[in-house]
Amino acid sequence: MIDPIRHLEESGHLTRFYIDGTWVEPEGRERAGVVDPACESVIAEIPLGSAADADRAVRAARKAFAGWSRTLPAERAALLSRVHALVLERAELIAQALTGEMGAAISYARQAQVPLAAEHLRVARDNLLDFPFVSQRGTTAICKEPIGVCALITPWNWPLYQITAKVGPALAAGCTVILKPSELSPLSALLFAEIMDEAGCPPGVFNLVHGSGPVVGEALASHEEVDMISITGSTRAGVLVAQAAAPTVKRVAQELGGKSPNIVLPDADLERCVPLGVASAMRNLGQSCSAPTRMLVPRARLAEVEALAAATAEGFAVGDPQAEATTHGPIANRAQYERIQTMIEAGVAEGAKLVTGGPGRPEGLESGLFARPTIFSEVRSDMAIAREEIFGPVLAILPYDSVEEAIEIANDTIYGLGAHVHGADLDQARAVAARIRAGQVHINAPAWDPQAPFGGYKRSGNGREYGREGMEEYLETKAVLGFYPHPA
């Protein structure tokens, strides 16, 4: 087995930051352990940066911006092509890092976490090559220019995927970046920094600093030389970043929490859509902000849905993430595991019907942060399990009596990140989708589209990632009047 920790130790990069094209010793003296959630043992230790480390990275990015922002699109695309190729070349090394740092089943790391992350780089490159950076409107030139130095804060649940979703379009736009990955899942970020270095990224264009949110995150958000900050995380973290950024009036893009509905219409094929809905809600152990964790079903078909949902969840193989047959590994960290257990107990206490699963570990697993895939039915909208983001393998089934009521239930949330609609009548499904207040709606479980913009309404954040809109987040608009001559 490829050992990413040994690789990083032998390279000397495990205890360093990547700033201005060089692996440097951190100024901060704090350290953090990287915990393997399958056995709850510390497998590595990383340094945590200080405000001084953040400032050093910001100044490197500022110095590099003047040159990088003026490069030709073809030059930036060539760099992204090299990075994309290296991610795929080192896919197994990265997959092993993901399994160790956040518990992704190795099969899932190989089939989803790494290849989907690589797709963000390919899409950023392709969009860059045909993007209209200058367009004509009468005699005025509408110019799209890079916003500047961007601080990127990424989470522990999709570590590399969220890194590439930000770094790819930011570099494509001509921005320079400072990446602060989650200190809970730093190994894949270090491997990505190695790739950026080997791909020939100019000094200062990409920088990496580890650290906590209250120290490095706050320092980046409040820094006068940072023009934009993009964060993926909890709604609470997004609010804190926005507050720190407010005095400098920088752009803040936030991809935050969710409690996404999955509306199963009366004419839907239950044998197809219910298993798909359960699998989607529990992919990555439900540790996805857009997971459709509220399944809304016709009351008359509730018993059928419960049986299909239970069979699907009970068919998951929860266990050792290194085993090829495992579909679901451990929860990524202790705090999240305890949150999930608390919310499952709340569902029982509130009187929801426990269809399968429940508190505690699955049978046969005596240690590690393993949770039971859990399904509740007869859930009401006022229950905590229907309102709060759990971020775990917990699905709430809510019955409805009319499609109109289903839409009302779907929108009865402070969030608005994603939604799903299933139904045989495509016109009706489209009509329902149009009325859901969410940034992305899936009709009848389509294939993932890396060009589809992703982001939320309401407290799920603002701004968009992925696709062309993802790159536009990193651009300013300049109007140059009189650029074109008047018509003769």
Whether 486 shows a pLDDT value over 90: the answer reads: no
pLDDT at 211 over 80: yes
Four-CA torsion 260, 264, 265, 267, nearest 10 degrees = 160
Closest CA to 407 of 382, 428, 389, 426: 428
Comparing 63-67, 140-144, 483-487, the range with the smallest average pLDDT is 483-487
**CA separation for the pair 458, 267 (Å, rounded):** 30
CATH of the domain at 369: 3.40.309.10
Is residue 93 in some structural domain? yes
Burial class (CB within 10 angstroms; exposed 0-12, middle 13-18, buried 19+) of 188: buried
Same domain, 226 and 355: no
Range 108-120 average pLDDT: 98
| Side-chain-side CA neighbours of residue 130 (13 Å) | 5
Within a domain: 455? no
Q: What is the DSSP letter of 109?
A: I
Q: Is 365 helix (H, G, I), strand (E, B) or coil?
A: coil
Residue 303 confidence (pLDDT) above 80:
yes
Do 175 and 89 share a structural domain?
A: yes
pTM reported for the whole predicted model: 0.97
Return the pLDDT at 198: 98
Tell me, yes or no, whether 277 lies in a domain.
Answer: yes
Q: Are residues 221 and 329 in the same domain?
A: no
Identify the pLDDT of residue 387.
98
* 486 located within any domain: no
Is 223 found in the same domain as 335? no
pLDDT in tens, 335-346: 999 999 999 999
Q: What is the tens place of the pLDDT at every residue in 12-54?
A: 999 999 999 999 999 989 999 999 999 999 999 999 999 999 9
Model confidence at 1, in pLDDT bands (50, 70, 90)?
confident
Taking only the tens place, the pLDDT of each residue in 450-459 is: 999 999 999 9
Do 24 and 115 fall into the same domain?
Answer: yes
Residues 152 and 29 in one domain: yes
Query: Of residues 150, 201, 273, 289, which has the active-site annotation?
Result: 289
Over the stretch 44-86, which tens digit does the pLDDT of each residue have?
A: 999 999 999 999 999 999 999 999 999 999 999 999 999 999 9
Question: Which residues, in sequence order, are CB contacts of 407 under 8 Å at separation 6+?
Answer: 263, 432, 435, 436
255 labelled catalytic:
yes
Residue 409 is assigned to a structural domain of this protein? yes
Q: Is 289 a catalytic residue?
A: yes
422 and 284 fall within a common domain: yes
Pair 289, 244 in one domain: no
Total domains present in the chain: 2
Task: Say whether both 139 and 266 belong to one domain.
Answer: no
- E strands, 115-183, where? 134-137, 140-146, 149-153, 176-180
140-146 and 134-137: which strand pairing?
antiparallel
Co-location of 335 and 400 in the same domain: yes
Same domain, 164 and 266: no
| Mean pLDDT value across the chain | 98
- Condensed to tens digits (0 to 9), the pLDDT of residues 213-246 reads 999 999 999 999 999 999 999 999 999 999 999 9
Diameter of the chain measured on Cα atoms: 82
* % of the chain at pLDDT higher than 90: 99
- DSSP 3-state of 208: strand
Please tell me the predicted confidence (pLDDT) of residue 28: 86
Task: Tell me the chain's radius of gyration from C-alpha atoms.
Answer: 23
Query: Which entry of 119, 194, 255, 306 is annotated as an active-site residue?
Result: 255
Q: What is the pLDDT of residues 351-378, one digit of tens each?
A: 999 999 999 999 999 999 999 999 999 9
36 class by beta-carbon count within 10 Å (0-12 exposed, 13-18 middle, 19+ buried): buried
Task: Give the model's pLDDT for residue 487.
Answer: 81
Residue 488 domain flag: no
Q: How far is CA 439 from CA 256, 462, 463, in A?
A: 12, 9, 10
Q: CATH number, domain at 176?
A: 3.40.605.10
Which strands form 140-146's sheet, in the order they lie side by side?
134-137, 140-146, 475-480
Split at pLDDT 50, 70, 90, the class of 2 is confident
Confidence check: pLDDT of 488 > 80: no
Query: Does a structural domain hold residue 336?
Result: yes
Verify that 141 and 266 share a domain, yes or no: no
Instruction: Name the residue range of residue 235's domain.
Output: 4-256+461-478
Inside any domain, residue 483: no
The residue to which tokens 């080997």 are assigned: 198
**Cβ neighbours of 63 (radius 10 Å):** 15
Main-chain dihedrals φ then ψ at residue 61, nearest 5 degrees: -65, -40
